[in-house]
């Protein structure tokens, strides 16, 4: 039945020495431990498995005891949720006690620990996320997850409306997992329920939304899925503003091997600097993320009003002033728009900086150079350096010693 699922890759999980060792120690004497969730799903899809989560009949105390008896280190990463991280020969595994939801409120459920793998599977979100694998190689599938995985379909476990009302974040997760794992259109029942329950997203914390949104933006079918989100009235709410699909599409085409969530967000949602500020508040972005969006917006504004085509010399200056990362992001997003006009040589030059073949020029003067020549410490130093920097940029960011010396002399002559 599951001819396009990779059962060999699934079983080869059990041959990973550290994982096998963990499962051997955590099975037996009346207890059972299995590999669950994303690792099983991804192995069956033949995708790389980087994180392995396990479920166990044991409670955290018993896990810690067994781990230490076997010489494994354990860290109580989420002990109140029943999770500890066990480190076997340097490799960490999250091991979680089986759980049952006893109370839900649209956000985070109150859980009890149990001993039933079926109940634990049924409280998970999607059928493809509820598979588990035993140490003996047995695949457990209580929700028809393998069939959905084979059909590349993301489907809620049970009634989609009810499952969303338990935790509205599942709407975001529905689109995120669809974008990453599904083929074709979103599951009709899931889509309809998500639309009908949309209002519930408002009770979630911004951090949880941000986490899922940023993951969605780098998923394989992000572009198509964002179109679905737009078509169902989600996107304006999620971004608190407009979306630029053209730029997002170009960004996604150019960074496919190494997508960076924040640049994808920039391409999609940042048109002016105010957008960066609004995104920070709306999604509780970190300072670093906000800085990147703001830098993107400033460079974008500069380039959109540029009349001259961008050539290799202009790239040298821009890379120096704005950094390779920001410049690459903006050019990926606006490349192909009527302005700025980007020369082929400009792209080649950018590629040389990106690959590190050409070093990004570093401004050669320091305050100390001016002090050494008798300029007293104080605000004047900063002013002179700023002037020198502008002159240096305009003259092509030369980094040889003679040019630096010449620049210093010219600045001193102005004092």
Chain residues 159-178 in contact with ligand ATP, contact rule CB under 6 A: 167, 169-170, 173
Residue of 260, 238, 264 lying closest to 249 (CA atoms): 264
Please state the closest distance from residue 109 (CB atom) to ligand ATP, in A: 8
Q: At what angle do helices 312-322 and 379-394 cross, to 10 degrees?
A: 150
Q: Using CB under 5 A, which of the segments 34-42, 112-120, 193-201, 204-212 binds Mg ion?
A: 34-42
User: Could you tell me how many residues make up the chain?
Assistant: 415
For residue 316, the minimal CB distance to ligand ATP (Å) is 40
* Positions in 36-75 near ligand ATP (CB under 6 A): 37-38
Examine residue 208 and tell whether it contacts ligand ATP (CB under 6 A): no
127-152 CB burial, b ≥16 within 10 A, e <16: bbbbbbbbbeeebbbbbebbbbbbbe
Position of minimal CB gap to ligand ATP: 38
User: Helix, strand or coil for residue 83?
Assistant: strand
Q: The tokens of 193 are what?
A: 């329920």
Terminal CA-to-CA distance of the chain, rounded, Å?
Answer: 83
Binding partner at 124 among ligand ATP, Mg ion, none, C-beta below 5 to 8 Å by kind? ligand ATP
Q: Which of residues 80-139 bind ligand ATP (CB under 6 A)?
A: 124-125, 129-130
- Select the binding partner of residue 249 from Mg ion, ligand ATP, none (C-beta < 5 to 8 A, by kind): none
The rounded distance, in Å, linking the Cα atoms of 332 and 317 is 18
Q: Judged by CB, which is closer to ligand ATP: 163, or 247?
A: 163
Query: Residue 56: enclosing H or E segment and its boundaries?
Result: strand 53-56
Angle made by CA atoms 147, 122, 234, in degrees to the nearest 5: 80
Pick between residue 205 and residue 236 the one whose CB is nearest to ligand ATP: 205
41: part of which helix (H) or strand (E)? helix 38-44
11 and 137 in contact (C-beta within 8 Å)? yes
Tell me, residue by residue from 151 to 180, as one string, x for binding to Mg ion by CB under 5 A and - for no binding: ------------------------------
Q: How far is the CB of 123 from ligand ATP (least distance, A)?
A: 6
Give the shortest CB-408-to-ligand ATP separation in angstroms.
54
Size of the site for ligand ATP (CB under 6 A): 10
> Interaction with ligand ATP in 261-300: which residues (CB under 6 A)?
none
Contact by Cβ (8 Å): 252, 218: no
- Closest separation between CB of residue 43 and Mg ion, Å? 14
Which of ligand ATP, Mg ion, none does 186 bind, CB closer than 5 to 8 A by kind? Answer: none
| Residue 249 within binding range of ligand ATP, rule CB under 6 A | no
Q: Angle at Cα 331 formed by Cα 330 and Cα 335, nearest 5°?
A: 125
Which spans of this chain sit near Mg ion (rule: CB under 5 A)? 38
Which spans of this chain sit near ligand ATP (rule: CB under 6 A)? 37-38, 124-125, 129-130, 167, 169-170, 173
């Amino acid at each position: 039945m599951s001819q396009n699922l990779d059962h060999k890759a699934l079983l080869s999980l059990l041959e990973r020495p550290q994982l096998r060792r963990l499962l051997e120690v955590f099975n037996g004497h009346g207890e059972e431990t299995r590999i669950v969730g994303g690792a099983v799903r991804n192995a069956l899809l033949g995708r790389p498995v980087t994180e392995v989560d396990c479920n166990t009949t044991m409670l955290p105390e018993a896990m810690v005891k067994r781990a230490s008896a076997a010489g494994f280190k354990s860290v109580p990463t989420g002990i109140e949720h029943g999770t500890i991280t066990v480190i076997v020969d340097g490799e960490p595994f999250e091991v979680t006690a089986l759980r049952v939801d006893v109370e839900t409120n649209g956000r985070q459920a109150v859980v009890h620990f149990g001993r039933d793998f079926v109940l634990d599977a049924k409280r998970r979100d999607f059928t493809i996320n509820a598979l588990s694998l035993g140490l003996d190689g047995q695949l457990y599938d209580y929700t028809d997850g393998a069939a959905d995985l084979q059909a590349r379909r993301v489907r809620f476990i049970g009634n989609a409306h009810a499952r969303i009302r338990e935790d509205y974040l599942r709407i975001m997760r529905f689109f995120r997992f669809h974008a990453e794992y599904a083929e074709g259109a979103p599951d009709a029942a899931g889509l309809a329920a998500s639309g009908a329950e949309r209002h519930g997203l408002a009770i979630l914390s911004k951090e949880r939304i941000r986490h899922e949104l940023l993951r969605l933006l780098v998923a394989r079918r992000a572009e198509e899925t964002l179109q679905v989100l737009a078509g169902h009235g989600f996107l304006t709410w999620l971004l608190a503003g407009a979306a630029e699909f053209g730029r997002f599409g170009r960004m996604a085409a150019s960074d496919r091997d190494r997508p960076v969530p924040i640049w994808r967000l920039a391409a999609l949602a940042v048109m002016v600097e105010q957008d960066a500020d609004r995104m920070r508040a709306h999604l509780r972005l970190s300072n670093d993320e906000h800085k990147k969006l703001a830098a993107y917006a400033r460079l974008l504004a500069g380039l959109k009003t540029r009349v001259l085509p961008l050539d290799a010399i202009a790239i040298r200056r821009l890379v120096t002033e704005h950094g390779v990362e920001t410049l690459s992001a903006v050019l990926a997003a606006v490349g192909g728009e009527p302005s700025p006009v980007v020369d082929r040589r400009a792209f080649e030059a950018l590629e040389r900086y990106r690959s590190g073949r050409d070093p990004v020029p570093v401004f050669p003067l320091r305050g100390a150079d001016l002090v050494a020549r008798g300029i007293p410490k104080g605000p004047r130093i900063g002013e002179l350096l700023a002037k020198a920097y502008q002159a240096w940029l305009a003259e092509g960011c030369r980094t040889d010693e003679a040019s630096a010396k010449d620049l210093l002399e010219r600045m001193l002559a102005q004092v």
